[in-house]
Amino acid sequence: MTLAHDKPTETQPEVPEGHVRLTIDGQEVIAPKGELLIRTAERLGTIIPRFCDHPLLDPAGACRQCLVEVSMGGRPMPKPQASCTMTVADGMEVKTQLTSPVADKAQKGVMELLLINHPLDCPICDKGGECPLQNQAMAHGRADSRFVDRKRTFPKPLRISSQILLDRERCVLCQRCTRFSQQIAGDPFIDLLERGAQQQIGTSETADLEAAASTTPSGEPFQSYFSGNTIQICPVGALTSAQYRFRSRPFDLVSTPSVCEHCSSGCAERTDFRRGRIMRKLAGDDPDVNEEWICDKGRFAFRYATAPDRIRKPLVRGEDGQLRESSWTEAMQVAADALVKARDGKGIGVLTGGRLTVEDAYAYQKFARVAARTNDIDFRARAHSAEELRFLASSVVGTTPEHVSFSTLEKAPIVLCVAFEPEDEAPIVFLRLRKASRKGTRVAYVGQWTTSSVRKTSGELLACAPGAEAAALDGIPEHAKDLHEALSAEGAVILVGERAAEVPGLFSAVQRLADGTGARVAWIPRRAGERGALDAGAVPTLLPGGAPVTDAQARAALEQLWRLPEGTLPAEPGRDTAGILAAAAAGELDALVVGGVDPDDLPDPQAARAALDTVGFVVSLEMRPSAVTERADVVLPIAPTAEKAGTFRNWEGRDRPFDVTLQNTGALPDCRVLDTLAVEMDVDLFTQTPKAAWADFDRAAGAVPRTVEAFQAEPAAAQEESTNGHVKLSTWRQLIDNGSLQVEEPHLAGTARPAVIRLNAATAERHGVVAGELATVRTERGALTLPAEIADLPDGVVWVPSRSPVGVYEALGVGHGGAVQLSAGSGETGGAA
C-alpha cells in the first residue's frame, strides 16, 4: 500500500492493454487480466502452496491451502482468499505467507487439518519422496500433532480398475483426479462419493450400495484410456498403478526425457529407470503437443522390451531349418551373401513397418535404393492403396505444424474427422479435440456410429455405411449445406485417418471437399513411424524429402549427394506392400528385408505368410519372435525405442527427437544394422548412428528439389449395394488390444474396452441377435464371435474391433467395408486358419 503510493506515478511502467497492475508482497507486478493470483505470484518466484490447483483444470478452491491476504483499493478483504480462484485486479495488494502472518497461519492451519486424517505411511507410499503433501508438511507443518482422537480409516486399497488402485485414507480430496476425468478425458467413472468427513473418491463399484436380490449389476470400473494421468497429478499417494506400486522409490530412479513410440502424436514423456530397467513412464510437459497428458498405452506399455523372449543375438536358420544364435559377423555375411544374390537376381523387396524413427526409415529406404537397387519399399504394414500414396505424395509429405497442428485444432471453428476415430487412433488428438469442443469448436465425424469420441467432443455424426464414406463426403455440399459452409470458414480442418485407404475414392473425396471449402487437410496415421517414413522416402514412389522417384533431376541431385554414379538410382516406381508380397509369392522377388511387420495387420495375413514362406530369402529385423522371424533365414535383433536415439516425426510434421534412455545395452538401432549389412554388401549408407542418418536425411531432403504434383482426385465411384443377406463390416483397432507393443502388460490389458459386435436394433432383430448375447460374423474365410451391443449404426452394418483379440483380416479375410454374414450365437467354430 504505502509502497505503491510512495512511488511517483510517472516512473511507473505503462500497463499494457488487457493488463492490470498489482502488488504481491510489496512487489509491483503487471499481470494479464484473468490471471489467477497463484500464477502471478509464481511468475515472481513466490510459490504459494497448493493441492487442488492445477493449471490445466478448472479452479476448484477446495483444499484452501493457498490462502493469501488481499486488499482492494486499500481496503482489506475480511477473509483470506484462495489465490487459486481469485484473479488479478488493478490496484490489488496481495500478501502471501511471506509477508502476511494471517496468510501464514491460515496455510498452517489448513496443513494441520489435512494431516489429521492422513496416515503416516510415507515410508511405504509410492509418492514418498515426490509428494507435495509430504514436502509441504516437512517445510511448513507442525512437528507434532494436536489431534489425539480417532483417525478416519478405510480398508485399503481399492482396485478401481485393473491398473489403478486407490488408498482412500491418503486422499486429500483435492478432486484433481475427478476433475481430470470429467473435464479433460470425459470419462467420469470416478467421482466423489458420500459427504463430509466420509467423502471419498470412488467408482460406482466402490460406492456403498447394495444390489437387490433379483439382479446383480456390478457397476462400472474406472475405464479410461487416460486413467494414468490421475496418478501423476495426484498430490498424494492415493492413486497408484498396479504396474508401479511398491516397485521403486523416486530417489532411486534416473529420469530421462523421451518420446512416446506408440501413436503418431509424439507425446513428450519422461522415462524413469533403475539399474537398466524402465520402472515407469510419465507425461512430459509440452504445451504444443500433449500438454501434460499421455494415454495409458503410452504410459504403461513398455515392458515389451524386457519380455523374456526378446531377441538379443542374431539368428541364422541352419541346415536343420531351425533358427540358431550366431555372431553378428556370421549373420551379416549370410544375409549379405543372399541379398547380393537376390539383388542381382529377381530383386529384393523391403517392408519396414510403421514404427520406425525417421533415421531408421531413412536407412531402410537408402538400403533399398542403394544396396538393393530397388524402389520396392513400403512402410505401410496395413491396408493401403495407390490412391492413398498419391494423396500422401501430394498433400502430406513435407507439411509442418504450420499447416495443421494441435493448436490449429484447438482454434479451429470446425474439425471434420473422416475415417478416423481419434480416441482409439490418436488419443492426444482426441484430448485436444475435446478441449476445443469445450471451448466451442464444432467437431463432426464421417463414420458409422456415435462413438465415445463423437460423444465426448459433442460431435455431430454423419453416419454412412462403411465404404460409403466417399459418397457421404461428396454429398456434403448438397445435403449438409450448413456443414459445408462451416468448413468454408477460415481455420476449418479435415482430419483423415489411415482407414481411408480401405475406402476407394475416399482420399479423392476428401480432396474435393477441401478444394471446395478451402479447409486444411491433415492425415493422422495410427503408428508413430508412419509420417516419418513417408517423409524419409520409405515408399515406392518418393525419394527422401518427397520428390517422385520418376523425377530425373531429383534423382540426379540425390545421386550426387550420395556420391553414386549417375543413373544408379532406380527410376521406375516400385511396388507397394501388397505388390511386394504378391511378387514374393509369385517368385518375382528373391528376397525380402522385413522390419517390424505383423502379417495379421495386413489385409490378407494368409497371403502375407505364404509370401514369406515362398520367397527365397527373408531377413528380419526384429525385437521379438514373430510370424516373420518364424519364416526368416536371418534374424537381426534391433533396439527398442528406449535403447536408441532417434526422431519420430509426428502427424503434424513436428520432429520429436529423443536420446538413448538405457545406455550401453548392446542393442543396435535399425539404421546401424542396415548400415553394417550394406557394408557387407559393399555399399556405404552412412547411417552408422541415428545422428549420422539424420544428417544424411537432412541433407537429402534439403538438396533434392521437389515438385509437388497436385493430387488428381479419382472420380466418385458408384457404390455397390449389399445383397444376399450380407451386412457391411465397419472396423478399426481399439487403443488397447493385442498389439505387439502391449505384451507383458496384464494390468493395462484389463482396461481395454470390451470387444463387442455393434449393430443397430433393427439389424439385430432381423438376424435374431440379442443384445448381450453372442453374435457371429462370417465369411468364407472364417468367423468371429463376440457379444452383441446395440448402437446407432446404419441398418445392415456391424462394427467389430480389428484386433481385440482376434484379427479381423485373419478371421474374415475382409476389412473395413467388407461384406459379412451375420448370425446369432457362436455359430460353428473353425474356418479361420
Partner 1 sequence: MTQAPETVFGDDVVAKAQELIGRYPESRSALLPMLHLVQSVQGFVSREGIAFCAEQLGLTEAEVSAVATFYTMYKRRPCGEHLVSVCTNTLCAAMGGDAIYQKLSEHLGVGHNETAGEPGEPGSITLEHAECLAACDLAPVVQVNYEYFDKQTVESAVELVDKLRNGERPKPTRGAELTDFKTAELQLAGFFPEDEERFAADVDGPSAAEETLRGAALAQERGWIAPPMPEEGSRG
Partner 2 sequence: MADTASKTDPLTPVLTKRWLSPDSWRLSTYEQLEGYTAIRKALRMTPEALVELVKEAGLRGRGGAGFPAGVKWSFMPPNEDKPHYLVINADEGEPGTCKDVPLMMADPHSLIEGCIIASYAMRAHHCFIYVRGEVLHCIRRLNNAVREAYAAGYLGRNILDSGFDLDITVHAGAGAYICGEETALLDSLEGRRGQPRLKPPFPAAAGLYAKPTTVNNVETIATVPYIVNGGADWFRQMGTEKSPGPKIYSISGHVERPGQYEAPLGTTLRQLLEMAGGMKDGIPLKFWTPGGSSTPMFTAEHLDVPLDFEGAAEAGSMLGTTAVMVFNETVSVPWAVMKWAKFYEHESCGKCTPCREGTYWLSQVLERLVEGRGTEEDIDTMLDVCDNILGRSFCALGDGAVSPIQSGIKYFRDEFLALCESNKRELVGASA
Residues near partner 2 (CB under 8 A): 59-65, 67, 78-80, 85, 105-106, 109-110, 112-114, 116-117, 146-147, 149-150, 152, 172-173, 192, 194-199
Smallest separation (angstroms) from partner 1 to the CB of 771: 7
Find which of partner 1, partner 2, none residue 152 binds, CB within 5 to 8 Å per kind: partner 2
Among the listed residues 641, 79, 605, the one whose alpha carbon sits nearest the alpha carbon of residue 358 = 641
Cis peptide before 157 (omega within 30 of 0): yes
The Cα–Cα gap between 76 and 81 comes to 11
Q: Which amino acid is at 653?
A: G
- Smallest distance, partner 2 to C-beta of residue 100, A: 13
Q: Which of 832, 728, 726, 734 is nearest to 785 (CA)?
A: 832
Q: Which of residues 763-782 bind partner 1 (CB under 8 A)?
A: 771-772
Residue number with CB closer to partner 1 (679 or 771): 771
**Using the rule CB under 8 A, which residue among 120, 209, 710, 718 binds partner 1?**
209
The alpha carbon of 566 is separated from its chain's Cα centroid by a whole number of angstroms, namely: 42
Residue 586 within binding range of partner 1, rule CB under 8 A: no
Contact 192, 176 (CB under 8 A): no
CA–CA separation, 670 and 444 (whole Å): 40
CB of residue 192 to partner 2, shortest distance in Å: 6
The one segment of 100-108, 204-212, 493-501, 554-562 that binds partner 1 by CB under 8 A: 204-212
214 counts as binding partner 1 under rule CB under 8 A: yes
Q: Does 458 bind partner 1 (CB under 8 A)?
A: no
63 interacts with, out of partner 1, partner 2, none, CB within 5 to 8 A per kind: partner 2
Q: Which partner in partner 2, partner 1, none is near 80 (CB below 5 to 8 A by kind)? A: partner 2
How is residue 596 written as a grid cell?
A: 517390424
- Residue 64 binds which one of partner 1, partner 2, none, with CB within 5 to 8 A depending on kind? partner 2
List 194, 252, 288, 613, residue binding partner 1 (CB under 8 A): 194
Beta bridge partners of 749: none
User: Minimal distance in Å, beta carbon 139 to partner 2?
Assistant: 18
* Residue 13: how many other CB atoms lie within 10 Å: 8
The CB-of-215 to partner 1 minimum distance in angstroms stands at 4
Measure CA of the first residue to CA of the last residue in the chain; give whole Å: 82
**Could you tell me the smallest distance in angstroms from the CB atom of residue 143 to partner 2?**
16
**CA atoms within 13 Å, Cβ hemisphere of 119:** 20
Q: What number of helices (H) and strands (E) belong to the chain?
A: 27, 34
Stretches 135-143, 187-195, 343-351, 628-636: which one binds partner 1 (CB under 8 A)? 187-195
Taking residue 327's Cβ as centre, other Cβ atoms within 10 Å add up to: 11
CB of 289 to partner 1, least distance (A): 29
Closest CA to 360 of 682, 7, 671, 33: 671
Given the rule CB under 8 A, which of 91-99, 208-216, 258-266, 688-696 is the region that contacts partner 1? 208-216
User: C-alpha grid cell for residue 612?
Assistant: 514369406
Nearest to 460 by CA among 445, 473, 472: 445
In 3D space, the residue among 42, 65, 39, 230 whose CA is nearest the CA of residue 136 turns out to be 65
Contact residues for 721 (Cβ-Cβ < 8 A; gap 6+): none
In the complex, what is the shortest distance from the CB of residue 804 to partner 1, in angstroms, rounded to a whole number?
A: 19
Minimum distance of partner 2 from residue 153's CB (angstroms): 13
Using the rule CB under 8 A, is 288 a contact of partner 1? no
Kindly determine how many residues on this chain lie close enough to bind partner 1 according to the rule CB under 8 A.
28
At closest approach, how far in Å is the CB of 185 from partner 1? 12
Cα–Cα distance measured from residue 246 to residue 295, given in angstroms and rounded to the nearest whole number: 22
Q: How far apart are CA 565 and CA 370, in angstroms?
A: 11
Residue 191 C-alpha cell reads as 467421482
Q: Which option in partner 2, partner 1, none does residue 75 bind, with CB closer than 5 to 8 A by kind?
A: none
In this chain, which of 2, 9, 11, 218 binds partner 1, going by CB under 8 A?
A: 218
Tell me which DSSP letter residue 321 carries: S
Task: Give which of partner 2, partner 1, none residue 210 binds (C-beta under 5 to 8 Å, depending on kind).
Answer: partner 1
Check binding of 197 to partner 1 (CB under 8 A): no
Cis peptide before 805 (omega within 30 of 0): yes
- Tell me what percent of the chain is helix, strand and coil, each rounded to the nearest 5: 35, 20, 50
Nearer to partner 1, 189 or 799 (CB): 189
Nearer to partner 1, 188 or 725 (CB): 188
Among partner 2, partner 1, none, the one that 389 touches (CB under a kind-dependent 5 to 8 A) is none
Cell 516437512 sits on residue: 138
- Where along the sequence are the contacts to partner 1 (CB under 8 A)? 187-195, 202-204, 207-212, 214-220, 771-772, 789
